[in-house]
């Protein structure tokens, strides 16, 4: 298993926060004792991912490093550790289906297969129209409500093929828009 | 008397997530009482008397943990609430925070006061971002009503409370990894000693407690530690939130009084109402994915034939030979159609995926186990692999920086211990094992 | 001072000393192996788990044994503590386990690895490894990359000791490489295929216990056991200029810092004797050096197997 990654695909045009978000970043940095503002990095990365294109390009991470006045490598180290951060370009909606034990016991495998067939992609891939990326994730803390998936921090629980049809239609038509 | 509730009794009151309704129903009494009439040490004493044990999984006495906190002059101390609930099978803290967020905020205020902290944090897993919003709303209300900020209710006590999100890493539930993450770093557990009570967040003395433990401080302050200790059974005092999942007729979060029987919990009308779809019970993991799995004949009875109870002691009766653990209260039930080999592989994959990669036994060992189990599950294993797994297991367990190594090792060891027959069948019946399940394992004849 | 007994040998050490450093005070084979701990690097240790020892008695005050083996590099001794290292069957067994873990994904490419002969993983494998591999799965691989124009990174060989990250933290303001990703996918990288470029970056090579970081100016030039190590010095405005030249005839094949028996750089004037990149990579002309004399390599590895150390030692004696 070769773990080589093509880093060239991880560049993108530099984007910056809105003034409101910049104010929020400053507020977050002041929420902790002086000199400890690196603490804000996870939250700012979430904000960056949500606002600046749905994934964390190298340029976005460098921007976050500038804002927090830390070295870029400190941001790369963090962003590559936590699985919620997407380091490659994603579709507009990332469907993250839980695959861990309790969800598997109630049929998550079948839901994953159903979505793969429905969207005609494999786990890890993005639909041709750029609408959906399918990912599997480990336990989301919704074990009693499985099978489940999360999309843009919204949980969809007790999934059935019918519900999957509904939610994919919902995202396509904009009904589930944040 | 069983069935008493101290955390979720008001959970179904409409609007309980708001300050107003929460306070109207007895909320924030504990803060009023503590700040007016109790010294910090008195609260610690009450928590000790209550017998409360950490609800995150390890079960360490909370009062004792608090009393270890170093208190050097001129150095800030921190209280951090561990809301990084990620142990497969566990979703109780999420339920509490979503439904009744002020209970956690109130618990944080009282506990911070008891520990002498003026800045406290709730570290919540990033996947619960919408609960972060719920908590921040509750915190804003508490500031607004004078329960947070400077000079709380005229007591002279100051407290700021912040919520910080994780980013998707099970390991951040380990307290020192959590602190690293809170500092904005990779979630690598720290080498201990020093322990957080001496050197924690930013090098300062820190206590890290689970959401449910902090919430339980509220009834302890309201009614006294002795009253809390009256609830439950023996050393398992109080109530416990159990998150029940898997093949149950009615999965969900239940607040149980410690001491009810496992039989009642699985089959009782007030609880899970039996196995889903009228199937038979095959196995149960009673305390989150890391604790040993129990085969059906050891779930409701111990090896000596006594009723198995929902207590720390009874669930671990028989040690790792025939018992398990209460753990985090993630109660996972398997019906007769489930494949133990597949599930063991699934859990092994989880732990390999979540290993931080810092220490060699965990980084290499969890990945190795996952690959061997994957082969076995897919009909490409051999009988030697089963012994190999047991061997790898022993070399991980106890040799790692943090308990993730043990958490990865125990489920594999227990599955092989109780379900070896099923593992062997996957080797001897390669093709058949791909199309049907082994079914129930036979009960060993005991002397 | 407090007393601790390691493998039945008693030693007195200051409060706060770790078990490993207490053992190093005794010396010899009582000393546990250490792949990640490096006394000169802040925050090092605790990760590789090769230095695990058994604590048979915690202290005089609390003589109970510790249930788990402990990392000797990060566990402080207590007065009256009784430690078992080479006298413990359990330690031997579990250290063998750790060695196996470190080797399952290792390429075992010693025949083409420049570190061979002075590799700590090689030493560990000799002493605690098995002659057979039980790992039947595919190994994880990374492509070798240049991490700067003079340094090669073979991630396949890395054991993730974190020393190269710590040395960068200690010697430079702007660290550009670190540990990325996690679990078995964790790797040393700059992420953006950046060059590690500062005057002291070459020290990454010296602190690397394995062949993950090697000197490109020495790549495939020779095997270390064919070379004669000579102590040398030069006047350098960046570092102390005190080095070891690895020579063949009159040619300098590579330059390293002076290292002690544990592979750590020796102190020069009370500070770790890190050397600058000029001394390491640029000064391959013997006329630039004042060559002091043969360097005794006091190590139990392949270098010594070639009896080279013995010869040097004899020669060194003659020089006295």
CB contact under 8 A, C46 and B395: no
Give the Cα-Cα-Cα angle A28, A30, A35 (nearest 5 degrees): 115
* C93's tokens: 């067994």
pLDDT score for C313: 54
- Backbone φ and ψ for B296, nearest 5 degrees, come out as -50, -35
pLDDT score for B359: 97
pLDDT digits (tens, 9 = 90+) for C134-174: 999 999 999 999 998 999 999 999 999 999 999 999 999 88
pLDDT score for C316: 54
What single string gives the DSSP state of each residue in C200-218? TTTHHHHH-SSTTEEEGGG
Residues of A with CB under 8 A from a CB of B: 31-33, 36, 38-43, 45-46, 68, 70, 74, 77-79, 81-85, 99-102, 104-106, 137-146, 150, 153-154
For helices B129-144 and B92-99, the axis angle rounded to 10 degrees is 40
Would you list the domain boundaries of chain A?
7-79, 93-173
Chain B residue numbers with beta carbons less than 8 Å from the beta carbon of A74 are: 184-185
Burial of residue B417 (CB within 10 Å: 0-12, 13-18, 19+) is middle
Domain boundary among B182, B210, B230: B230
B176: domain CATH number is: 3.40.50.11540
CB contact under 8 A, B357 and C182: yes
Residue of C nearest to B359 (CA): C47
State the residue for tokens 């949500």: A50
C-alpha closest to that of B293 among B94, B88, B86, B93: B88
Query: Rounded to a whole number, what is the distance in Å from the CA of A5 to chain C's nearest CA?
Result: 9
Query: Rounded to a whole number, what is the distance in Å from the CA of B347 to chain A's nearest CA?
Result: 6
Q: How far apart are CA B282 and CA B438, in angstroms?
A: 11
pLDDT digits (tens, 9 = 90+) for B104-158: 999 999 999 999 999 999 999 999 999 999 999 999 999 999 999 999 999 999 9
- Across the interface, which of C74, C105, C162 has its CB nearest the CB of B364? C105
Q: How far apart are CA C296 and CA C315, in angstroms?
A: 10
Contact call for residues B245 and A146 (beta carbons, < 8 A): yes
* A103's tokens: 């969800």
Query: Rounded to a whole number, what is the distance in Å from the CA of A80 to chain C's nearest CA?
Result: 5
Position C315 pLDDT exceeds 60: no
Contact partners for chain B, using 3 or more CB pairs closer than 8 A, are A, C
Q: How far apart are CA C318 and CA C320, in angstroms?
A: 5
Instruction: Tell me: do B162 and B26 sit in the same domain.
Output: yes
- Which residues have a Cβ under 8 Å from the Cβ of B381 and sit 6 or more positions away? B372, B375, B426, B427
pLDDT digits (tens, 9 = 90+) for C37-60: 999 999 999 999 999 999 999 999
Chain B residue numbers with beta carbons less than 8 Å from the beta carbon of A139 are: 86-89, 170, 289, 350
* B336's tokens: 């007769």
Contact call for residues B393 and B369 (beta carbons, < 8 A): yes
- Across the interface, which of B162, B169, B184 has its CB nearest the CB of A38? B184
pLDDT digits (tens, 9 = 90+) for B19-47: 999 999 999 999 999 999 999 999 999 99
pLDDT score for C194: 86
pLDDT digits (tens, 9 = 90+) for A57-101: 999 999 999 999 999 999 999 999 999 999 999 999 999 999 999
pLDDT score for C173: 87
Task: Return the C-alpha torsion angle B278, B284, B290, B291, nearest 10.
Answer: 160
- Across the interface, which of B76, B187, B245 has its CB nearest the CB of A143? B245
Q: How far apart are CA C200 and CA B174, in angstroms?
A: 36
Contact call for residues B422 and B344 (beta carbons, < 8 A): no
Give the Cα-Cα-Cα angle C44, C46, C50 (nearest 5 degrees): 115
Q: Distances from the Cα of B11 to the Cαs of B6, B22, B26, B210, in angstroms?
A: 11, 10, 13, 19
Which H or E element spans position C269?
A: none
pLDDT score for A90: 97
Q: How far apart are CA C34 and CA B248, in angstroms?
A: 50
Query: Rounded to a whole number, what is the distance in Å from the CA of A78 to chain C's nearest CA?
Result: 8
Q: How far apart are CA C28 and CA B261, in angstroms?
A: 58
CB contact under 8 A, C182 and B193: no
Burial C253-263 (b: 16+ CB within 10 A, else e): bbbbbbbeebb
Instruction: Tell me: do B292 and B412 sit in the same domain.
Output: no
- What is the DSSP-derived secondary structure letter of residue C271? E
* Mutation for testing the C interface, residue in B363, B372, B391, B397 having most C CBs under 10 Å: B363
Residue of A nearest to B346 (CA): A101
* Sign of the torsion angle spanned by Cα atoms B168, B171, B173, B175: negative
Contact call for residues B436 and B338 (beta carbons, < 8 A): no
ipTM, two decimals: 0.97
Q: Distances from the Cα of A96 to the Cαs of A153, B381, C41, C96, C210, in angstroms?
A: 10, 31, 41, 40, 39
Residue of C nearest to A70 (CA): C174
Instruction: Tell me: do B203 and B263 sit in the same domain.
Output: no
> Does residue B268 fall inside a structural domain?
yes
* Mutation for testing the B interface, residue in A42, A95, A157 having most B CBs under 10 Å: A42
- Across the interface, which of C138, C141, C180 has its CB nearest the CB of A76? C180
Q: Could you write out the three-class secondary structure of chain A?
A: CECCCCHHHHCCCCCCCCHHHHHHHHHHHHCCCCCCHHHHHHHHHHHHHHHCCCCCCHHHHHHHHHHHCCCHHHHHHHHCCCCCCCCCCCCCEEEEEECCHHHHHCCHHHHHHHHHHHHCCCCCCECCCCCEEEEEECCCCCHHHCCCEEECCEEECCCCHHHHHHHHHHHHHCCCCC
Q: How far apart are CA C246 and CA C244, in angstroms?
A: 6
* Residue C89 CB neighbour total at 10 angstroms: 9
CB contact under 8 A, C184 and B365: no
Residue of B nearest to C106 (CA): B364
Q: How far apart are CA C122 and CA C116, in angstroms?
A: 7
pLDDT score for C307: 46
Instruction: Tell me: do B180 and B222 sit in the same domain.
Output: yes
Fold of A93-173: Glutaredoxin (3.40.30)
Instruction: Tell me: do B278 and B403 sit in the same domain.
Output: no
* Phi-psi category of residue B367: left, alpha or beta, with phi > 0 → left and psi -120 to 50 → alpha: alpha
Q: Could you write out the three-class secondary structure of C147-173?
A: CCCCEEECHHHCCCCCHHHHHHHHHCC
Q: Where in chain C is the domain with CATH 3.30.70.20?
A: 99-129+140-218
CB contact under 8 A, A81 and C182: yes
* C243's tokens: 């080095």
Q: How far apart are CA B418 and CA B295, in angstroms?
A: 7
Residue of B nearest to A102 (CA): B246
Query: Rounded to a whole number, what is the distance in Å from the CA of C236 to chain B's nearest CA?
Result: 37
pLDDT digits (tens, 9 = 90+) for C172-209: 988 999 999 999 999 999 999 888 889 999 999 999 99
pLDDT digits (tens, 9 = 90+) for B213-268: 999 999 999 999 999 999 999 999 999 999 999 999 999 999 999 999 999 999 99
State which CATH number among 3.30.70.20, 3.30.750.24, 3.40.190.10, 2.60.40.10 fits the domain covering C99-129+140-218.
3.30.70.20
pLDDT score for C131: 87
Domain A7-79 identical in fold to domain A93-173: no
CB contact under 8 A, B360 and C68: no
pLDDT digits (tens, 9 = 90+) for B46-88: 999 999 999 999 899 999 999 999 999 999 999 999 999 999 9
Chain A residue numbers with beta carbons less than 8 Å from the beta carbon of C141 are: 1-3
* Sign of the torsion angle spanned by Cα atoms B125, B245, B330, B372: negative
- Backbone φ and ψ for C252, nearest 5 degrees, come out as -90, 120
- Backbone φ and ψ for B426, nearest 5 degrees, come out as -65, -25
pLDDT score for C135: 95
Domain boundary among B335, B360, B384: B335
Q: How far apart are CA A4 and CA C260, in angstroms?
A: 36
As beta bridge partners, residue C231 has C244, C293
Instruction: Tell me: do B161 and B279 sit in the same domain.
Output: no
Contact call for residues B64 and B73 (beta carbons, < 8 A): no
Contact call for residues B65 and B108 (beta carbons, < 8 A): no
Class of domain C2-90 as given by CATH: alpha beta
pLDDT digits (tens, 9 = 90+) for C230-289: 999 999 999 999 999 999 999 999 999 999 989 999 998 899 999 999 999 999 999 999
Give the Cα-Cα-Cα angle B399, B402, B407 (nearest 5 degrees): 85
Mean pLDDT of A131-155: 96
Task: Return the C-alpha torsion angle C280, C285, C286, C288, nearest 10.
Answer: -80
- Across the interface, which of A101, A144, A154 has its CB nearest the CB of B346? A101
Contact call for residues B332 and A99 (beta carbons, < 8 A): no
Burial of residue B4 (CB within 10 Å: 0-12, 13-18, 19+) is middle
Domain boundary among B205, B230, B255: B230
Instruction: Tell me: do B164 and B177 sit in the same domain.
Output: yes
Mean pLDDT of C16-31: 96
- Across the interface, which of B91, B185, B246 has its CB nearest the CB of A78? B185
- Backbone φ and ψ for C266, nearest 5 degrees, come out as -75, 155
Instruction: Tell me: do B115 and B72 sit in the same domain.
Output: yes
Give me the number of domains chain B comprises: 3
Contact partners for chain A, using 3 or more CB pairs closer than 8 A, are B, C
> Does residue B210 fall inside a structural domain?
yes
- Across the interface, which of C140, C174, C179 has its CB nearest the CB of A77? C179
Q: What 3-state class would DSSP assign to C285?
A: coil
Fold of A7-79: Arc Repressor Mutant, subunit A (1.10.10)
Q: Where in chain C is the domain with CATH 3.10.20.740?
A: 2-90
Position B442 pLDDT exceeds 90: no
Range(s) of the domain holding residue B314: 235-335
Q: In this complex, how many residue pairs, one in chain A and one in chain B, have their CB atoms less than 8 Å apart?
A: 144
Q: What size, in residues, is chain A?
A: 178
Instruction: Tell me: do B101 and B153 sit in the same domain.
Output: yes
* Mutation for testing the A interface, residue in B87, B88, B163, B253 having most A CBs under 10 Å: B88
* Residue B21 CB neighbour total at 10 angstroms: 15
> Does residue B444 fall inside a structural domain?
no
pLDDT score for C193: 86
First-to-last alpha carbon distance for chain B, in angstroms, is 35
CB contact under 8 A, B338 and A40: no
Instruction: Tell me: do B198 and B251 sit in the same domain.
Output: no
B422: domain CATH number is: 1.20.1440.230
């Amino acid at each position: 298993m070769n773990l080589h990654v093509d880093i060239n695909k991880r560049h993108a045009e530099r984007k910056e926060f809105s003034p409101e978000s910049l104010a929020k970043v400053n507020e977050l940095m002041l929420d902790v004792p002086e000199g400890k503002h690196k603490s804000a990095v996870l939250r700012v990365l979430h904000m960056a991912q949500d606002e600046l294109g749905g994934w964390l390009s190298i340029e976005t991470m460098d921007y976050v490093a500038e804002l927090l006045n830390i070295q870029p490598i400190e941001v790369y180290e963090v962003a590559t550790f936590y699985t919620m951060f997407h380091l490659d370009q994603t579709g507009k909606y990332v469907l993250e289906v839980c695959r861990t034990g309790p969800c598997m016991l109630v049929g998550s495998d079948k839901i994953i297969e159903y979505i793969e067939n429905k969207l005609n992609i494999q786990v890890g891939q993005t639909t041709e129209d750029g609408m959906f990326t399918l990912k599997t994730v480990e336990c989301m803390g919704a074990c009693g409500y499985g099978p489940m998936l999360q999309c843009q921090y919204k949980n969809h629980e007790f999934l059935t093929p019918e519900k999957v049809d509904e939610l994919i239609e919902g995202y396509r038509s904009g009904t589930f828009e944040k | 008397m069983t069935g008493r509730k101290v955390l979720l009794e008001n959970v179904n009151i409409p609007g309980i997530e708001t300050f107003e309704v929460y306070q109207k129903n007895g909320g924030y009494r504990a803060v009023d009482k503590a700040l007016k009439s109790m010294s910090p040490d008195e609260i610690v004493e009450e928590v000790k008397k209550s017998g409360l044990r950490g609800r995150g999984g390890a079960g360490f006495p909370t009062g004792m943990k608090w009393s270890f906190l170093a208190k050097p002059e001129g150095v800030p101390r921190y209280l951090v609430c561990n809301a990084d609930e990620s142990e497969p099978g566990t979703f109780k803290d999420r339920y509490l925070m979503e439904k009744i967020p002020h209970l956690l905020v109130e618990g944080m205020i009282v506990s911070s006061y008891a520990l002498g902290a003026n800045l406290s944090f709730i570290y919540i897993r990033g996947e619960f971002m919408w609960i972060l919003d719920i908590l921040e709303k509750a915190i804003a209300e508490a500031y607004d009503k004078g329960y947070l900020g400077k000079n709380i209710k005229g007591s002279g006590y100051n407290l700021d409370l912040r919520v910080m999100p994780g980013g998707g890493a099970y390991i951040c539930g380990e307290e020192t990894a959590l602190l690293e993450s809170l500092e904005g770093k990779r979630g690598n557990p720290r080498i201990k000693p020093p322990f957080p009570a001496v050197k924690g967040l930013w090098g300062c003395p820190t206590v890290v407690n689970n959401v449910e433990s902090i919430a339980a401080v509220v009834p302890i302050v309201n009614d006294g530690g002795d009253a809390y200790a009256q609830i439950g059974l023996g050393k398992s005092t109080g109530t416990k939130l159990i998150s029940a999942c898997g093949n149950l007729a009615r999965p969900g979060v239940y607040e149980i009084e410690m001491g009810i029987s496992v039989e009642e919990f699985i089959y009782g009308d007030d609880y899970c109402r039996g196995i889903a779809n009228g199937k038979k019970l095959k196995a149960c993991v009673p305390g989150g994915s890391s604790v040993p799995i129990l085969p059906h004949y050891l779930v409701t009875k111990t090896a000596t034939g006594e009723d198995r109870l929902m207590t720390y002691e009874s669930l671990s009766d028989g040690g790792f030979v025939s018992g398990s653990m209460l753990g985090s209260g993630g109660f996972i039930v398997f019906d007769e159609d489930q494949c133990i080999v597949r599930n063991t592989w699934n859990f092994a994959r989880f732990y390999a995926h979540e290993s931080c990669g810092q220490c060699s036994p965990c980084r290499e060992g969890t990945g190795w186990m996952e690959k061997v189990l994957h082969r076995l599950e897919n009909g490409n294993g051999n009988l030697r692999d089963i012994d190999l797994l047991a061997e790898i297991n022993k070399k991980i367990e106890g040799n790692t920086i943090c308990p993730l190594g043990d958490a990865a090792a125990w489920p594999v060891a227990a599955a092989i211990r109780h379900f070896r027959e099923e593992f062997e069948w996957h080797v001897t019946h390669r093709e058949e094992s791909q199309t049907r399940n082994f079914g129930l394992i036979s009960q060993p004849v005991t002397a | 001072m407090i007393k601790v007994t390691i493998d039945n040998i008693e030693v007195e050490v200051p409060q706060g000393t770790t078990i490993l450093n207490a053992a190093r005070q005794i010396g010899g084979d009582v000393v546990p192996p250490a792949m990640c701990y490096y006394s000169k690097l802040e925050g090092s240790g605790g990760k590789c788990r090769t230095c695990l020892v058994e604590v048979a008695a915690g202290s005089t005050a609390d003589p109970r044994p510790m249930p788990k083996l402990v990392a000797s590099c990060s566990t402080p001794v207590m007065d009256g503590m009784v430690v078992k290292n080479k006298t413990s069957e359990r330690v031997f067994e579990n250290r063998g386990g750790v060695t196996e873990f470190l080797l399952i994904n290792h390429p075992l490419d010693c025949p083409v690895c420049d570190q061979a002969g002075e590799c700590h993983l090689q030493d560990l494998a000799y002493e605690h490894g098995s002659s057979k591999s039980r790992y039947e799965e595919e190994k994880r691989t990374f492509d070798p990359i240049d991490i700067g124009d003079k340094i090669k990174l073979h991630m396949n060989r890395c054991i993730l000791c974190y020393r190269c990250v710590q040395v960068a933290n200690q010697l430079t303001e702007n660290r550009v490489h670190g540990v990325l990703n996690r679990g078995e996918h964790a790797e040393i990288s700059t992420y953006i295929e950046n060059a590690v470029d500062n005057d002291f970056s070459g020290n990454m090579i010296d602190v690397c216990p394995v062949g993950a970081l090697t000197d490109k100016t020495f790549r495939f030039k020779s095997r270390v056991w064919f070379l004669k190590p000579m102590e040398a010095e030069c006047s350098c405005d960046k570092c102390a200029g005190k080095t070891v030249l690895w020579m063949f005839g009159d040619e300098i094949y590579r330059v390293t810092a002076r290292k002690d028996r544990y592979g750590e750089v020796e102190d020069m004037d009370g500070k770790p004797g890190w050397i600058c990149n000029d001394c390491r990579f640029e000064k391959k002309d013997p006329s630039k050096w004042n060559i002091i004399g043969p360097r005794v390599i006091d190590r139990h590895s392949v270098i010594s197997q070639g009896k080279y150390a013995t010869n040097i030692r004899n020669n060194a004696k003659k020089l006295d």
